[in-house]
């Protein structure tokens, strides 16, 4: 890819309480997880132990260097349940329809909104999610930073709800997962 995505190389993983995050996600063995706009895959690596050898993680990002870094770490740690792909998620998520149990979007939706690619991405996400599948979104609290993006592009939980309700998602919960971030989990009600 010739153009590096806005926040490529920055990860929120070290800012969040990962124990609380994974407790709220309630990942089970055999889960198929999509880490959408995964960067270097810190969340994917952490999630791999929760879903077991029979589970699958698809880590997808536009940033080739991030995917290359993830693939190196997967090889070093001998992780067999992560499959990484380079893709423009606003055009096509490279997987079958209705195959994902849980999708994680960690501090990426605000960038998609800023790029005006959120609607296309959410449309693709709805295609790959199973009916009643879960969407977990981590975003920065609407407070001054750093860390994180400028306050004017941060998404409040209320705005996030409005965006996702219009796409046939129902909120399950919103909770703080650290001093800078919150987690909202939604269930997909529609059909892909």
Residue 164 lies in a domain: yes
Q: Give the Cα separation of 66 and 126 in Å (integer).
A: 25
Q: Parallel, antiparallel, or unpaired for β 129-140 and 181-188?
A: antiparallel
Residue 139 lies in a domain: yes
pLDDT recorded at residue 8: 56
Rg of the chain (C-alpha set): 15
3-state DSSP assignment of residue 25: helix
Residue 1 lies in a domain: no
Residue 5 lies in a domain: no
Tens of pLDDT, residue by residue over 163-187, are 999 999 999 999 999 999 999 999 9
Residue 123 lies in a domain: yes
- For residue 80, give the CATH number of its domain: 3.40.50.150
Give how many domains the chain has, as a whole number: 1
Tens of pLDDT, residue by residue over 28-54, are 999 999 999 999 999 999 999 999 999
Residue 165 lies in a domain: yes
**Whole domain around residue 148: which residue ranges?**
13-188
Tens of pLDDT, residue by residue over 96-114, are 999 999 999 999 999 999 9
Q: Is 90 exceeded by the pLDDT of residue 145?
A: no
Residue 3 lies in a domain: no
Q: Is 90 exceeded by the pLDDT of residue 9?
A: no
């Amino acid at each position: 890819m010739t153009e590096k995505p806005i926040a490529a190389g920055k990860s929120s993983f070290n800012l969040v309480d990962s124990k609380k995050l994974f407790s709220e996600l309630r990942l089970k063995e055999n889960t198929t997880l999509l880490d959408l706009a995964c960067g270097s895959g810190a969340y994917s690596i952490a999630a791999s132990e929760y879903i077991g050898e029979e589970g699958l993680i698809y880590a997808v990002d536009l940033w080739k260097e991030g995917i290359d870094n993830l693939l190196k770490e997967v090889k070093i740690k001998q992780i067999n349940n992560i499959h990484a792909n380079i893709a423009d998620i606003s055009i096509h998520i490279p997987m079958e329809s209705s195959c994902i149990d849980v999708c994680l979007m960690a501090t990426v939706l605000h960038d998609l909104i800023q790029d005006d690619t959120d609607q296309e991405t959410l449309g693709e996400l709805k295609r790959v999610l199973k009916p009643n599948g879960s969407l977990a979104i981590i975003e920065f609290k609407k407070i001054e930073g750093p860390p994180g993006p400028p306050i004017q592009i941060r998404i409040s939980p209320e705005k996030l709800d409005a965006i996702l309700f219009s796409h046939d998602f129902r909120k399950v919960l919103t909770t703080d997962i650290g001093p800078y971030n919150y987690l909202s989990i939604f269930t997909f009600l529609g059909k892909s």
